[in-house]
Structure 1
Amino acid sequence: MTVSDFDQFRPPEPERRGRRFGKLRRKKRPGRTDGTAEMLMVPEVEFTSYYGRAIVKPPPWGPEIAAYLFLGGVAGGSGLLAYGAQLTGRELLCRNARLGAMAAVGIGGAALVKDLGRPDRFYNMLRTIKLTSPMSVGSWILAAYSGGMGLAAASEVDRLTGGRLPLGPLRRGLTVVEPVAGAASALLSPPLAAYTAVLLSDTANPTWNAAHRDLPFVFVSSASLAAGGLAMVTTPTRETGPARALAVMGVAGDLFATRYMESRMDPVTVEPLHQGRPGTLMRWSERLAVAGGLGALLLGRNRVAAAVSGVALLGASACTRFGVLEAGIASAKDPRYTVVPQRNRLNKRRAEGITDDSITTAN
């Protein structure tokens, strides 16, 4: 035994209890008479991660990106509606749809640039093209659509002002390229409305990735009802027949595609779409879509009712985009939405006898 000058400052050690009759004394547990009962050796699982951080990093996207998703859908649907009006001779509907599409794509592009922080970041995305990147392909779709719709909208503004724009000899060339620009915009309208869904689902985000097969159909349907709603607000009822039809088809497609999408997702990854603020937005989206669709179908020839129905349809589309965006961000913040679906997929493969596709299922 060693001694030290500092032993006087050491606290006394507790008395050690020795053996009694050659056995260690054990503290008796209530309700236990022997050592054969099972004990809980591992506590209940809590879905946590290292240092309390999310397993999947949530995207730092705010309302600017949600607005871009919504306005991109409005622009895409309006471009297709404008081309249909161009072919059928509905000049007023064509003009309003083109101007609405150009306003939507302009404001949406500004919201995107604001989220990026600097305008040159969007320009840098156009320096190359990568077909496997939804962001790269989407940037080119947005730029090409904006160019075509810009030419068509400029021609409409020139006519609206009585030819007072200082175009000079360019006016004749603009008149020639206007039909081609309208057709090109219509060709790019469905990709513009759908590519943002591909952009969201092509990630490791639990809820977005689980919806990757059907989310583009939801976004395209939402874009259709939004474009029809905008035309019903801005255009007299004598020319809004195609807009009302597009709106009703969009409502039917949106309701069916959303329900079908949720039925094919893992039940756990669907939860963020039904809980909290995203759940509230998705419920209001359905209510506004049904109300606007019924208004367009039954009261679409009344100017006031058509305008109110159009506002409801625009609100439904906005709620869908905001709800999907916020649900995905919420699912990335909770480790449960990453761990449990992985476990469910693993158990499903094991039940199907697949044991050679990963380390965790190997024999």
Structure 2
Amino acid sequence: MSTSEYDSLRPPEPPRRKRRPGGPGRRRRPGRHAGGDGSREMLMVPEAEFTSYYGKPVVKPPPWEKEVAAYLFLGGVAGGSGLLGAGGQLTGRPTLARNARLSALAAVSLGGAALVKDLGRPDRFYNMLRTFKVTSPMSVGSWILTAFSGGAGIAAVSELDRLTGSRAPLGPLRTVLRVAEGPAGLGAAVFAGPLAAYTAVLLADTAVPTWNHTHRDLPFVFVSSASLASAGLAMVTTPVAETGPAQRMAALGVVGDVVATRLMERRMDPVAAEPLHHGRPGAMLRWSERLAVLGGVGAVLGGRSRAMAAASGAALMAASALTRFGVFEAGIASAKDPRYTIEPQRRRLEARRAAGITDDSITTGPTAG
């Protein structure tokens, strides 16, 4: 028997069964004395268990903490607020435009801080701006975030200067701010949608099972969720006389959020979708839908009630946050369990073989000859 220095690393072998007395020629009939009725064959191998080598996950969970989930939420708030700010600017609603611009700046600043905290050092974010790689959601997203922040920052600083009575010693820079304020606000609105959606593409581009299976629909879910968050924040901070666009945005966002989420879950592999329904992520997403519907009804029927508008807005913001955190935690949970990787792969393999595809590297079947 040969030995090797790696023998100590091999998993232990199960103990062998002892042969019953009665001679080597004696055999038991299949099915007898094994819980069967003798008419069925015994299983030659035990049922497969969804374990991996040495009990390790098949897919390595991403090393992302709660800061990334917060960034997902704050990015949606910033993107939607940038769009509402441009709407207030174009429709003559100065209070809505001001509050939305300030909200966009606050959200993108806090989101950037959360992202840098997760990266560990600020220079890691700067290094992502050294190149532009269209095939990398992280690279494209970094440039989207930078472009949006520039426009939103100029518009918000001008609003802050006006809000403080132009007391800051800006000198000639104040004139530049006033001239650039409008174009900067509209420029931020151009990047608002991509900012709200790119984080969904970033998640779906990973090998994490649940996230990867949402690649067709998660961007629509995140954009709708961003509409809820930003419209809700505007309803909380702005008088009802100017919240008409925010209320309509909230109503559309609720419909989009519910429909997109249901469609996403229906088109996913049923096993990969399980983390969205079970445990803490499942509870978050169920409450997200309830609060979204409740907030949407309040936005439509609240009329001119300031208290109703504020309560509905808070419900919409909570619904959006629960959506982002729920999807984030569901993906992390799916990466830790080998079942969510193995079962969908087997189902896809069987589907390809059933379709007659047996000559590629996936099915590893016989080559065409």
TM-score under structure 2 length normalisation: 0.90
Aligned to 2:325: 322
1:150 aligns with 2:153: yes
Aligned to 1:292: 295
**CA distance in 2 between partners of 1:40 and 1:226 (Å):** 55
Aligned to 1:206: 209
Aligned to 1:347: 350
8 Å contact from structure 1 (residues 350, 361) kept in 2: no
Aligned to 2:246: 243
**Alpha-carbon deviation of 1:31?**
7.1
Q: Deviations over 1:281-320 (max 9, x none)?
A: 0001000000000000101421001000000000000000
1:84 aligns with 2:87: yes
* Match runs of 1:46-85 below 5 Å: 46-85=49-88
Aligned to 1:94: 97
Aligned to 2:164: 161
The SS at the match of 1:268 is coil
**CA distance in 1 between partners of 2:167 and 2:311 (Å):** 34
The SS at the match of 2:273 is helix
**CA distance in 2 between partners of 1:289 and 1:283 (Å):** 10
1:194 aligns with 2:185: no
Q: Deviations over 1:18-49 (max 9, x none)?
A: 997x854668963799x997332201100111
Q: Deviations over 1:202-234 (max 9, x none)?
A: 011111110101100000000011111000000
**CA distance in 2 between partners of 1:295 and 1:19 (Å):** 79
Q: Percent identity?
A: 71
**CA distance in 2 between partners of 1:257 and 1:355 (Å):** 35
**Alpha-carbon deviation of 1:358?**
2.9
**CA distance in 2 between partners of 1:17 and 1:82 (Å):** 81
**CA distance in 2 between partners of 1:267 and 1:157 (Å):** 50
8 Å contact from structure 1 (residues 244, 300) kept in 2: no
Alpha carbons of 1:357 and 1:23: their partners in 2 closer, same or farther (altered >3 Å)?
closer
8 Å contact from structure 2 (residues 349, 362) kept in 1: no
Mind listing any 5+ residue stretches in structure 1 that lack a counterpart? 1-15
* Match runs of 1:134-149 below 5 Å: 134-149=137-152
8 Å contact from structure 2 (residues 272, 334) kept in 1: yes
User: Root-mean-square deviation (CA), in Å?
Assistant: 2.2
**CA distance in 1 between partners of 2:288 and 2:268 (Å):** 19
Aligned to 2:7: none
8 Å contact from structure 2 (residues 353, 363) kept in 1: no
Alpha carbons of 1:359 and 1:174: their partners in 2 closer, same or farther (altered >3 Å)?
closer
Alpha carbons of 1:17 and 1:31: their partners in 2 closer, same or farther (altered >3 Å)?
closer
Aligned to 1:262: 265
The SS at the match of 1:288 is helix
8 Å contact from structure 1 (residues 272, 328) kept in 2: yes
**CA distance in 2 between partners of 1:17 and 1:60 (Å):** 50
Q: Deviations over 1:247-267 (max 9, x none)?
A: 010000000000011111111
8 Å contact from structure 1 (residues 231, 243) kept in 2: yes
Aligned to 1:278: 281
**CA distance in 2 between partners of 1:31 and 1:190 (Å):** 62
Mind listing any 5+ residue stretches in structure 2 that lack a counterpart? 1-17
| Match of residue 233, structure 2, among 230, 233, 241 | 230
Name the count of aligned residue pairs: 347
TM-score under structure 1 length normalisation: 0.91
Aligned to 1:30: 33
| Match of residue 114, structure 1, among 112, 117, 120 | 117
**Alpha-carbon deviation of 1:78?**
0.5
**CA distance in 1 between partners of 2:242 and 2:28 (Å):** 87
What amino acid does structure 2 have at the position aligned with 1:257?
A: A
The SS at the match of 1:60 is coil
**CA distance in 2 between partners of 1:55 and 1:301 (Å):** 54
